Each structure stands twice: as structure tokens, then as C-alpha cells.
Amino acid sequence: MGRGRSRVRVKSVITFWERATALPCFGEQEGRHLVLGGHPMLMVGTDLVEVERSLGCGELACPGCGGVLGPWGHARSRSCRGVEGPVRHRPRRARCGSCGRTHVLLAQVWLLRRADAAAVIGAALEARATGAGHRPIAAALGRPVSTVRGWLRRFSTLAQDVRVFFTRLLYALDPAAAALVPRAGVVGDAVEAIGRAAGAGVLRLGPAPPWEFAARASAGGLLAPLAGRSGRGVVSNTS
């Protein structure tokens, strides 16, 4: 029956997603093993009910050992800035039944150590890719100039790794994808690769806004500090 096949297909797509997002070429990080505030991070979707259901049903795997994660309270509350304005959220926490480690479940709306939503930071990166400077971008987004300058500087140092990572992800998702069109500069190339991979992700994995796709695929590490890219990728707590 179609139902059984579709269940198998969904499982294989989820497995594929896990493999695709574990591509080891994004800088030196092993994205799914990043640690935030002493707790390994696991990126999850934005549907809280679905996350809760997955957690309750034992469908989430420990990023450390692959064991089954179960509910384990919440991380501390955070003040963040979404596309629509300030947001306060409190990520779920899970504990592995095998290794006993706890993990913070970070929704793909956010990036590690950044108070602004991935979509906001992504809009800045898109503007940069078209040649805009940090001041007009900051004015357009209503964010401090220094904050936007920090995003752009960080991204430009990582852009080559990001381009390679998302180009590989694009062809992993769609082996028949047309060649990427070179843009002006490595930041433009990286943003182009993210957009194309996100488009392929929609077709292969289901709908997701492009910068949420990028956040999830990079395990929240699109702008992760260099300190989080060595060894096991331990980073300090978020602000």
C-alpha cells in the first residue's frame, strides 16, 4: 500500500537530511556536535507541538551517540529579535537515555550565539551580496550598525566554507541541479549556494524558508565564532 511506502520514504528522507546536514566540510566544525552553554545543541523545526511529539515518541536522536532523546525540562529563557520584533523563548531540553547527556533543542529560526533571527541576518547577507554596505543594511533592518557589521565580517571570513558546504548540499539534494551562477565576490557566491540548496531542499525535504533551511543545515553555525570551529566545537553561552 501507498501508506507503507510513504512512511518508508519519509524515514529515508529524514535519514538523508541527517546525513546531508552532517557533511563534514563546513569549516572545521562538526555541526551537530556543537555545544552551547555546556549542552550540545540539536536543531529542530519550528512547530513546537511536533517537536514535543517527536520528543515524547523517542524520534529524536542524540547528536553525541545516536541514542534516544527524552524530555528534560527547558533551557533558560532568552530574549531575541525576530522578524516582527522582540521575542522571548525558552528552548526545550532533552536528555539521552544512552549516554545521559542533555541537549538544548534550538529551533531553526535561530542561529547559535545570535540574538537576531536567521531570516533577519539572512536579509543582511542577501543585501551584502548585491553590494550594499553595512550602514544602509542596518538602517533598512533597524539594527545597530555595529551588529550588522559584525554579521557581515563574520560571514565574509566563512563565505568560502559556506559556499563549498551548500554547494555540496545542493548536489546531494539534487544531483541534476544546474551549475551555480557565479556572483560578484565570494559572499555573493555563498548566498547563491545557500539559496539554491534551500530551493532543492524544498523539493526534496518539504517547505522551509531559505534562512531557516540554512540555519538547520549548518546546525545553527552559519555565523558561529571561530572558537566554536576547532576540536569538538565547544562554544560559550548565547547572549
Contact positions toward Zn ion, by CB under 5 A? Answer: 62, 64-65, 67, 96, 98-99
Nearer to Zn ion, 65 or 184 (CB): 65
- Find how far residue 148's CA is from the centre of its chain: 19
Nearer to Zn ion, 101 or 163 (CB): 101
Nearer to Zn ion, 67 or 71 (CB): 67
Least distance to Zn ion from the beta carbon of 112, Å?
20
How far is the first Cα of the chain from the last one, in angstroms, to the nearest whole number?
A: 50
Nearer to Zn ion, 69 or 214 (CB): 69
Nearer to Zn ion, 64 or 233 (CB): 64
Beta bridge partners of 93: 104
Least distance to Zn ion from the beta carbon of 32, Å?
12
Least distance to Zn ion from the beta carbon of 66, Å?
7
Least distance to Zn ion from the beta carbon of 220, Å?
19
Q: How far is it, in rounded angstroms, from Cα 112 to Cα 78?
A: 12
Least distance to Zn ion from the beta carbon of 34, Å?
15
